[in-house]
A and B are shown apart, each in its own frame.
Chain A
Amino acid sequence: MRVNFTVNGRRHEADDVWEGESLLYVLRERMGLPGSKNACEQGECGSCTVRLDGVPVCSCLVAAGQVEGRDVVTVEGLADFAAHRSDAHPGTGCAPGACGTALDSARRWKAAPAGEETRDTGELSPIQQAFIDAGAVQCGFCTPGLLVAADELLERTPQPSDADIREALSGNLCRCTGYEKILDAVRLAAARAEETV
């Protein structure tokens, strides 16, 4: 089947999708966006978290057909998404299809074994920068999902309490950090946002 949907603000279609494929599989294997991770593919770890019409979901549990006509944001589009939220549409986020990251720029790096290319990253979103600065990234496999979930938390609750952070991120497993530095990162992003207000 063919699925039409918006990814990181741009319209796309995926062809030859078999009806059992998940959104995660389509993003990773058909669209060349492997940023969303495949740690359990059973809805338990949150590493595949993307936003579907603004709501954080485990993309491994979403059948590809379910996203027909809908709007998906992945970690690859997070920086642009966050920039638009603060610049173009403060406090709300973009309307579907209006803004966003083109597939080619989201995919500037391609997971082919021949020659690993690093790109000029440009701007990071505040939560991405905070994860780096706070040392919240170790192996980094949990990071994309956590970033999407944490960004959504900060959009909803710009100054979250520790209990708020824990609750919002409780669906995202991390095996490396012990979570303390992840808490630090979210606190740091919130504090920086407060300073700039």
Chain B
Amino acid sequence: MGVTGSPTNINQGTRTKGGIGESTLRPDGILKVTGEFAYSSDMWHEDMLWGHTLRSTVAHAEIASIDISEALATSGVYAVLTYDDLPTAMKNYGLEIQDTPVLAHGRVRHHGEPVALVAADHPETARRAAAKIRIDYRELPVVTDEASATAPGAPLIHEGRDDHHIGHVPHPNIVHRQPIVRGDAEAAKARADVVVTGDYYFGMQDQAFLGPESGLAVPAEDGGVDLYVATQWLHSDLRQIAPVLGLPEDKVRMTLSGVGGAFGGREDLSMQIHACLLALRTGKPVKIVYNRFESFFGHVHRHPARLHYEHGATRDGKLTHMKCRIVLDGGAYASASPAVVGNASSLAVGPYVIEDVDIEALALYTNNPPCGAMRGFGAVQACFAYEAQMDKLAAELGMDPVRFRQLNAMEQGTLLPTGQQVDSPAPVAELLRRVKAMPMPPERQWESAGEHPDVRALPGGLSNTTHGEGVVRGVGYAVGLKNVGFSEGFDDYSTARVRMEVIGGEPVATVHTAMAEVGQGGVTVHAQIARTELGVAQVTIHPADTKVGSAGSTSASRQTYVTGGAVKNSCEAVREQVLEMGRRKFGTYHPAWATAELLLEGGKVVTDGGEVLADVADVLEDEAVDIELEWRHRPTEAFDLRTGQGNGHVQYSFAAHRAVVEVDTELGLVKVIELACAQDVGKALNPLSVVGQIQGGTIQGMGIAVMEEIMVDPVTAKVRNPSFTDYLLPTILDTPTIPVDVLELADDHAPYGLRGIGEAPTLSSTPAVLAAIRNATGLELNRTPVRPEHLTGL
């Protein structure tokens, strides 16, 4: 026994490597580069069947009849299910409002809505059988925008609504509405020397995660089902799945399989219930994998928005007031629309001090594709508009746009329009200063002295359509404000189970949570936290499943904060118990056991003065300490439904961008040369991952600025471009260099002072690119994405 009566030096209890603040590598990295990581579409089971979904070909119709006989008679087909086959009275699901049918009953409300399911022995057999299902649609008029949704006699998308928002909306085709009124905007307007207004349109963006919706449902002997699936929140899925199947929650056992990105698009259910229904019906394992076409119909998108803004400012550059109205198109089903409305309204003012505001945000029910969560969640649309307004005001006043923003920047202590005080660092002016101070990329990089121009560096690239004659450069700035975590009184907790034991003579920690690792690197950070708190080198991350309590969603930039906080919390409890065991065993050997602050470091119990008291292995011997705890951040409260007042948010995150673009004004082509970002992350738990997240978020914001948009036909409400051929995503040729400047101003309320980081860079990158294109061309450009015809005036 390595004890421990006599004091030793801290040098023997070396600090554990791979703790927080270090750029440790992903524990799943090797599996991912060798092709061995099991994504949900890689699931396989002997004797498994393939499921396929038949989807509506029209946007709004009554279903007069469905004939499945021919499909069912197809050789190789094991089951064909429609609404009539649902086993219980619970036939809908939904994140907040249970308005989404598992399979359409009587009526379809959007193009691509699931109508029937097929299970067969080959995916192609399932597809062909689905094509033999005969559906008689009686088409109904479509509702596609605010005017058609609220017109007298407009068809009601959801008749007889009974959800708790219905009492507060002016029309049943409005999902939710949130006004925020503070001060007196009309009176304050009298103080303004300049007033600018703007109407903006923000296009529908797709999350376009690469790993398709997919999973495997395996029927179990106890009548339950085991589901292996890619999702953002296992327990939220479970809560929605079990009642539809008519099973208690403990008979639906969910395990996270590898997730190929999410970005909000996996918050709602896709194939989960469908696969379970087919598995329970056929008694065989059923795998469903969407192809890309189906994926565009299988998840909700980012809300397109119409925004009307009015701002005033005094001659010396102080904002006087702001009025805005934000209309979000939620599509056919509610999904996360109510919460998106809450964010859009409460963050509509952006990171600026404006005392007198009059804000209204609402989301519509229409026959367009359903919209819900996507990175930035309501704050993105507002940021696009208020940042355009800031540039307009600066131009009116003849001021530098960065200077103007800094003059009005919020700081710690500022009151938001909701009356909530920002009680942690809010370095808005500083982030703008930093991003402006970064060195500029060289001009006209296609000209290398005396040689032929390198056309690859020009807008349009290798197409060699110009040698740079019509190319002009522009620079634009933007900054944004995003809340972290779930707001408005939501019980946003997480659970972590931490086990410490001795294996092969070494103390080892196991961290078990239900956190969905969707690529963001939570698993890396959990191991870092356990190493820091427990002083062990070896940490095992248990697969995420529903055998442990909920971790909440991997969204809203909250996972490192909340589940990271839960892991820290549980580690602290484990540490306390280990120390208590040590005191009982060895307390008599050294007074420091009773008197000193004790830590675990390098596998040893040490005092805060650095004395080693014991090996953890000797304290634990063959006992294990195993603790599961829930952890909550400080509570928030709902916004008042009439005034919008309330302490609704937990934490804020801030990012600023400078975009440099080159525009070929003759061809209408844009090349983004550089997108520099400065962001405050509170504390960088893993600097390498932090920068990776910021760069990824930046490019998603750039995508919406210059190319990404789901096009919905305004007459038929059908989706026109559900493919990677027609929905354009940035490639490596379209993306600029992305220098990142990370600021770490601790938030005293958060674990380690950290700040959620995933979303803020998506906010400011879009308006920065737009500002740069406006700067280059002098055009107004009030919509995303900007297309060639907007630049050439065709």
Contacts and interface: CB of A to CB of B under 8 A. Distances in A.
A65 to B, nearest CB: 15
Interface in A134-170: 135, 137-144, 147, 163, 165-167, 169-170
Contacts of B518: 139
A175 B216 contact: no
A26 interface: no
Given A112-B45, A178-B735, A38 B212 contact: yes
B366 interface: no
Tell me whether chain A's interface is mostly helix, strand or loop, or mixed.
loop
Given A38-B41, A139-B260, A140-B28, A121 B34 contact: yes
Minimum-distance CB pairs A-B, first 10: A35-B35, A139-B519, A141-B260, A140-B32, A178-B695, A44-B724, A178-B699, A75-B35, A34-B42, A111-B42
A116 B543 contact: yes
Interface of A: 18, 20-21, 28-29, 32-42, 44-45, 47, 74-76, 78-79, 108-113, 116, 118-119, 121, 124, 128-129, 131-133, 135, 137-144, 147, 163, 165-167, 169-183
Given A40-B724, A113-B43, A181-B692, A166 B733 contact: yes
Q: Which of B255, B259, B692, B730 has the most CB of A within 10 A?
A: B692
A20 B45 CA distance: 23
Contacts, number: 209
Contacts of A29: 44
Interface of B: 23, 25-26, 28-39, 41-45, 122, 124, 207-212, 216, 218, 226, 228, 255, 257-261, 263, 289, 291-292, 454, 456-457, 462, 518-521, 543, 688-689, 691-692, 695-700, 723-725, 729-733, 735, 737-738
Given A113-B228, A175-B210, A182 B732 contact: yes
Contacts of A38: 41, 212, 289
B732 A111 contact: no
14 contacts: A20-B124, A36-B35, A42-B292, A44-B724, A75-B33, A76-B34, A110-B44, A113-B228, A124-B33, A135-B688, A137-B29, A144-B35, A170-B733, A178-B697
A21 B208 CA distance: 25
B33 A147 contact: yes
Given A39-B260, A176-B519, A34 B209 contact: no
Nearest to B289: A38
Contact of A45 (B26, B41, B210, B738): B210
B260 A166 contact: no
A163 B462 CA distance: 11
Contacts of A35: 34-36
B210 A141 contact: yes
Tell me whether chain B's interface is mostly helix, strand or loop, or mixed.
loop
A111 B38 contact: yes
B170 to A, nearest CB: 38
Nearest to B215: A113
A110 B35 CA distance: 11
B211 A37 contact: yes
Given A138-B692, A173-B729, A113 B211 contact: no
A32 B784 CA distance: 43
B44 A170 contact: no
B137 to A, nearest CB: 27
A173 B724 contact: yes
Contact of B457 (A37, A42, A163, A181): A163
Nearest to A186: B732
Contacts of B41: 34, 37-38
Contact of A141 (B33, B211, B543, B725): B211
A42 B726 CA distance: 11
